Copies of this chain bind each other. A is one copy, B any other.
Amino acid sequence: MPEDAVISYVKANQERNLQQLFDLLRIPSVSAQPAKHGKDVERCATFVADSLRDAGMENVRLVQTPGNPIVYADWLHAGEGAPTVLVYGHYDVQPPEPLDLWTSPPFEPTIRDGKLYARGATDDKGQMFAHVKAVEAHLKTHGKLPVNVKFFIEGEEEVGSKNLDRAIEELRKELACDVVLVSDTAMKGEGQPAITYSLRGLIYFQVDVTGPSSDLHSGTWGGSLANPNEALVQALAKMKDPKTGKVKIPGFYDGIKVTKEDRAAVAKSGYPDSYYKKSMAIKALWGEKGWSAAERTSIRPTFEVNGIYGGYQGDGAKTVIPAHAHAKVSMRLVGGQNPEKITRSFEKYLKSVALPGVEVKVTRLSAGFGAKVPLDHPAMQAATKALSDTFGKKPVYLAEGGSIPVVATFQKLLGVNTILMGFGLHDENLHAPDEHIRVANYQRGIEASARFLHEVAKVPL
């Protein structure tokens, strides 16, 4: 089988593939610190481009944006009727601070106990680079790929991908494909591969409540007006029913369709309630009635107050009525929910329940649709086979509570689904000191990606 030769190539080149990842990890491509690391980010884009060229990919170029460049490459000689796979990933990383909490320096990759420590190791350089090495294995072994492949590797994921949607829209034709392949998620656990098939969307708001023209003495003025702190508290409290945990924003649940299969998938892949209780060290769970914690964190939407602040916060007492009070509010949305509609409804409802005399301002800071890939999608089968063959164990299907907005963008702008084949683990400290990836999972990631390209050629897309 041609596949065996490719896997042999991967295995034979493990040390070299690891050293090249080391080189990639040494570049401090911190997108959140442009003054300090702007040059490094550009250097990193060039490194990725060069790696793709060395792998045998064609039309390699840096797509300029108002921010950091996106690396594009393709190989389109799979022949008539062959499907096209678009690989998305990102080469930028989170800031490494606080530096003193790292066991080894964040940009000096170090292996300890089979784990490769470096900023970006699991998020996302290690996972993204596995695909570069996978196409290389195919191209160096057979001089060709089983399918057409395009790469689209951005450099602003850690700062909100602010130029990505625009770029995808402009390059719509060039990016045309049958399926997107992304590795920027986690496995279920050590040795248990997983495909994330559902992601929650996210809308995030700043809420500002303004009352009197200045801070007031609560003895002199208290009782005569709606205190902005209290107006905020009263309004936010109305957003959720404390008895049922249901969100009370009108129309919030409209359009949601949770199937038996969804619940079965969560029941199979998700953790039991006891796991949540223990992990968070709390005495009792709480949330929307009628759903398990695993469901509530994956296939059900949420409403959360991420921040709240107003008035006096120091030690002791200050008898003040503040002029204003604020909150950060976010909602995780699932497939079917419309962020635009919910945004409007939230703003209207919040204002309608505000106490008299205060002004309520709602500013949306971000919005992203949720996404769901049908479990019976043909590429899902290909990914399942690739992961099963690589790990010796069938993958589980995860409904992820977090959000990867680009998945919804691909669905919307390119009309395609995304296969989220993750090689990270939840304990690998992404966004924290001592970020790492299992070396074995990086190597398996290369194999799984190589197998996926092989398998996906066989299914009807």
Contacts and interface: CB of A to CB of B under 8 A. Distances in A.
A301 B219 CA distance: 10
Nearest to A332: B222
A316 interface: yes
- Tell me the number of copies of this protein: 2
A397 B353 CA distance: 38
B309 A313 contact: yes
A401 interface: yes
What's the interface size class on A, roughly? Answer: 35 or more
A308 B306 contact: no
Interface in A211-258: 211-213, 216-227, 229-230, 232-234, 236-238, 240, 242
A311 B319 contact: no
Given A219-B332, A224-B293, A285-B357, A311 B302 contact: no
Interface in A128-184: none
Contacts of A355: 242, 286
A379 to B, nearest CB: 24
A316 B221 contact: no
A264 interface: no
Interface string A304-330: 111111111100111111100111101
Contacts of A217: 402
B297 A222 contact: yes
A286 B225 contact: yes
A296 interface: yes
A439 interface: no
Contacts of A311: 305-308, 328
Contact of A308 (B229, B281, B330): B229
20 contacts: A217-B402, A218-B302, A219-B400, A219-B402, A221-B280, A221-B401, A223-B288, A223-B301, A232-B233, A233-B308, A285-B357, A286-B355, A306-B311, A306-B312, A306-B317, A306-B320, A307-B320, A308-B311, A311-B328, A319-B330
Cβ-closest 4 pairs across A and B: A219-B402, A237-B237, A223-B296, A307-B312
Interface of A: 200, 202, 204, 211-213, 216-227, 229-230, 232-234, 236-238, 240, 242, 276, 280-288, 293, 296-297, 300-302, 304-313, 316-322, 325-328, 330, 332, 353, 355-359, 365-366, 400-403
